[in-house]
A and B are shown apart, each in its own frame.
Chain A
Amino acid sequence: MVFSSVTFLFLFLPASLLLYYIIPDIRWKNVVLFFVSLVFYAWGEPVYVILMLYSILLNYAFGRVMGRTQKYKKQVLVFLIVMNLLILGFFKYYGFLMDTVNSLTGLSLPVRQLALPVGISFYTFQALSYDIDLYRGKFPPQKNFIAFGAYITMFPQLIAGPIVRYEDIERQLTARTHSLDGFGSGALRFTAGLGKKVLLANLCGSLFDTIQASGGNISTATAWIGTLAYAFQIYFDFSGYSDMAIGLGECMGFSFRENFEDPYACVSVTDFWRRWHISLGTWFREYVYIPLGGNRVSTTKHIRNILVVWLLTGLWHGASWNFVLWGLYYALLLILEKYVFLKWKIPSFIRRIFALAFVLLGWIIFYSQEFPQMLTTLAATFGFAANGFADNAALYYLTSNAVLFGFCLAFCIPATGIFLKDCRNHLPGRILLAAGGAAVLLLSVAFMVTENYNPFLYFRF
């Protein structure tokens, strides 16, 4: 089920909220949450819900085992890590692995096409964060199966994040406050995310698809417009989804961490990754980078650490070579920045332009499924395009989407976020927020009810 669908917003959500709020006791609220989240997941994946239930049982059971032994703690942790990664690896990467083996060895072993269970990357990483931090002694094991199940499955972040670490939420599982204005604040946040997704991301996505359909038959200007459209699409799609997740969580008394901080306002690539998909970056830093030594080791090992983390980050995004390439691309840039670029004295304005250029080129690698197509697009952006620098098509795309891009740009700059936050402090601002929220909600509903196009780009994770 997708948040920006009529089924979710007008069937599932009212029913779930009703059930959730009718029951007063928090332990029973968790039962409701767990149950509706299973329905939410099963709606889209009727069979794979079994796999998720297994994962919950596995991590719950051995989490408790870990709590009762000191001697075998490490062995249990290793077992958990292996099992979790086995599940993730098999269902997500089996096809990729077999295809690679086949093309490298020239064999043609039969490859069964497996459907990717939705959300597996997210809930597996959440489970692993629980396992590893439990080993580190940050909290006692969760003895209540329902509470633990609610942590893994809770529908706001189940399908597309943010990746919520157990330590951030432990106390909230058993004690959280519910209030009407808390709900309103959450609903407002949800609405903002919905608007980002339905009004901005989908329209940019539509433009991007149109340009993609032209294949290599584009001009340089078109290539840049297409990449810009994709950059907007993926940002508003993903951050919109995170907004909706945070908002829904807030509606039920949960407080999640922010996942995006105006990423396109970055001053360097390093800075970009502190602002984009923060929960993933945090996860890799906590559970891979730091255990490997982080930056407190020799230069060679440091570079190795960065390469490992980014190889995995790329792979996490998808079982395909262009994602691996994308990860390595950023690894290279980050290493260069750390050891070379950031030491130079460059005016901030130039820094920002370069950072954005690197990010945009990175998106080209990210969205190109085939290698030849990637090269054609990259060549076009550097001036070697089939249709010259600018053609009629580029002018059409630009003029018919200028206002859309204007809105997108407005919601990318930090000033907008600051202004909206500040609105909470005075009456005219508060009126603006409530009225604006109402308008965005109604407009989003209008678009949702009549739109067939609604893919979520991070959905295959």
Chain B
Amino acid sequence: MKNLYAKIFAVFFLIVIAGAAVLHFMTPDRAYSAAEKRNLDQAPELSPENVAAGVFMDRAEGYLQDQFPFRDQLMQTKITVQSTLLRNRESQGVYLADGMLVERFTMPPEEETAALLASLEAFAARNPGPSYSFMLVPNAVAFYRDRLPAYALTDSQDEYIDRFFFSLPEPFEAKDVRQLFKAVKNDVLLYYRTDHHWTTEAACIAFTGQTEDLAHVTVSGRGYSAYTVADRFYGSLQSKSGFTGLGPDAIRIYLPDRDAEPLFYSVYYPDTQSLESSVYDTDKLATDDPYQVFLSGNHPLVEIETSARTGKRILVIKDSYANAYVPFLVPGYDRVTVLDPRYYYEDIDALVKSGRFTEVLFLYNVNTLSADTSLKTVLDNRQ
């Protein structure tokens, strides 16, 4: 009788290891995890070559982990234990701050920044004509240090932006939104609580310079109003860190008022060869990344032609932050071409020449720019 506890535990142990094993093989494999927003490893091929080379064994663990039964619930348990019991509020470089998730910033090496600035200068020199500007947008970590866990470690984005703008080559105009944001950082939700992107309101502030009454704005003489199109948005930072519990975010877009002068435009995506009539892809609202409602997510190139008749054409070279900003540009230009260097393989100089752009705008957020390698490669455009 006195060893009953051992017998009970023996049975429990066997149930856990055998039960999970059986469940694992009986439940079908998932291809994609909505919670982690990534494709899950699939079963490695059991072939003699794979076994002899050790490839099968290496991949087996990844597969078994990714397809484990109740994986999402187990992840939740782990995160809860880590953040509440162990009071560790950092996971994968993301802090569980007061009411929001904030990604930590790591200052890149100086040589990298200097090299990028040199490439920008060379690019502008090869393509004189358009006016150049660079908008470098800070992330949440630049404004909400006070909400981070005690003594949280992060480098200073202010320092990075200051240095960057100081060394920005001649033709470039520096576009600094920090003062605007600082003024309203406690009144307006500038960044999503669970995602690394800025909100549409923040993009609106950056474009218009207006900081109040953001429900209605005027762009190029037309009135626009904000509408909520998604209210169950759980963003990238939640997927990356695993921290849940911060309420869903809402995504808003600006649509022209009924009495506004009509504007016609077409949106063409060369990579999928699809032609749309709106910069907003509402099909994406039902997916687990509704942020893709802006410009249908990530494409190497997006070509927008409008009926604006302003004589101005702009090329925007960007990361995903600009997706929420581009809709504000559309009414003011005849052509808006949007380029994402991460996916772009063609000849950028040829593009600039053929597009006859009057303006070239670089729009990046600090975290992405500091870790990016594709911009420089595309700008260098070596044959």
- Report A's interface with B, CB cutoff 8 A: 5-7, 9-11, 13-14, 17-18, 43-44, 46, 180-185, 187-188, 190-191, 203, 392-393, 395-396, 399-404, 424, 430-431, 433-434, 437-438, 441-443, 445-450
Q: Which residues of A contact B151 (CB under 8 A)?
A: 392-393, 395-396, 399
Given A180-B11, A184-B11, A430-B4, 15 more A-B residue pairs with CB atoms under 8 Å apart are A6-B61, A6-B64, A10-B20, A10-B24, A10-B64, A46-B51, A180-B6, A187-B13, A188-B9, A430-B2, A430-B5, A438-B12, A443-B78, A446-B75, A450-B74
A10-B21, A403-B86 known; A393 vs B9 contact (CB < 8 Å): no
Is B57 close to A, CB under 8 A?
A: yes
Smallest Cβ-Cβ distance to B148: which chain A residue: A396
Q: Are B10 and A180 in touch, CB under 8 angstroms?
A: yes
| Shortest Cβ distance from residue B7 to the other chain A in the assembled complex, whole angstroms | 5
- Report B's interface with A, CB cutoff 8 A: 2-14, 16-18, 20-21, 24, 51-52, 54, 57, 60-61, 64-65, 68, 71, 74-75, 77-78, 81, 85-90, 149-153, 242
Q: Are A183 and B10 in touch, CB under 8 angstroms?
A: yes
| Shortest Cβ distance from residue B5 to the other chain A in the assembled complex, whole angstroms | 4
Q: Are B57 and A434 in touch, CB under 8 angstroms?
A: no
Smallest Cβ-Cβ distance to B22: which chain A residue: A14
Q: Kindly state the separation between the CA atoms of A327 and B75 in the bound complex, as whole angstroms.
A: 42
Q: Which residues of A contact B7 (CB under 8 A)?
A: 180-181, 184
| Shortest Cβ distance from residue A146 to the other chain B in the assembled complex, whole angstroms | 25
Q: Which residues of B contact A6 (CB under 8 A)?
A: 61, 64-65, 68
A14-B18, A392-B151, A446-B78 known; A203 vs B86 contact (CB < 8 Å): yes
Contact among A7, A18, A203, A403 with B87 in the assembled complex (CB-CB below 8 Å): A403
Smallest Cβ-Cβ distance to B12: which chain A residue: A438
Q: Kindly state the separation between the CA atoms of A446 and B85 in the bound complex, as whole angstroms.
A: 15
In the assembled complex, 13 residue pairs joining A and B whose CB atoms fall closer than 8 Å, in A order, are A6-B64, A10-B68, A14-B14, A181-B10, A183-B6, A184-B6, A396-B150, A400-B149, A404-B86, A434-B12, A437-B12, A445-B16, A445-B20
Smallest Cβ-Cβ distance to B66: which chain A residue: A449
Smallest Cβ-Cβ distance to B79: which chain A residue: A450
Interface of chain B, main secondary structure: helix
A5-B61, A392-B151, A396-B152 known; A446 vs B10 contact (CB < 8 Å): no
Q: Are A434 and B8 in touch, CB under 8 angstroms?
A: yes
Q: Kindly state the separation between the CA atoms of A430 and B5 in the bound complex, as whole angstroms.
A: 6
Q: Kindly state the separation between the CA atoms of A446 and B65 in the bound complex, as whole angstroms.
A: 10
Q: Are A181 and B6 in touch, CB under 8 angstroms?
A: yes
Q: Are A450 and B75 in touch, CB under 8 angstroms?
A: yes
Smallest Cβ-Cβ distance to A183: which chain B residue: B10
Contact among B11, B60, B64, B81 with A443 in the assembled complex (CB-CB below 8 Å): B81
Q: Kindly state the separation between the CA atoms of A449 and B65 in the bound complex, as whole angstroms.
A: 5
5 nearest interchain CB pairs? A184-B10, A184-B6, A430-B5, A396-B151, A181-B3
A203-B86, A445-B16, A449-B68 known; A399 vs B6 contact (CB < 8 Å): no
Q: Are B74 and A400 in touch, CB under 8 angstroms?
A: no
A396-B153, A450-B71 known; A14 vs B17 contact (CB < 8 Å): yes
Q: Which residues of A contact B57 (CB under 8 A)?
A: 7, 43-44, 46
Smallest Cβ-Cβ distance to A436: which chain B residue: B9
Q: Are A184 and B18 in touch, CB under 8 angstroms?
A: no
A446-B77, A449-B71 known; A441 vs B153 contact (CB < 8 Å): no
Q: Are A185 and B6 in touch, CB under 8 angstroms?
A: yes
A44-B57, A400-B87, A447-B78 known; A9 vs B9 contact (CB < 8 Å): no
Q: Which residues of B contact A180 (CB under 8 A)?
A: 6-7, 10-11
| Shortest Cβ distance from residue B50 to the other chain A in the assembled complex, whole angstroms | 11
Q: Are B74 and A10 in touch, CB under 8 angstroms?
A: no
Smallest Cβ-Cβ distance to B152: which chain A residue: A396
Q: Are A431 and B5 in touch, CB under 8 angstroms?
A: yes
Q: Kindly state the separation between the CA atoms of A206 and B7 in the bound complex, as whole angstroms.
A: 36
Q: Which residues of A contact B71 (CB under 8 A)?
A: 449-450
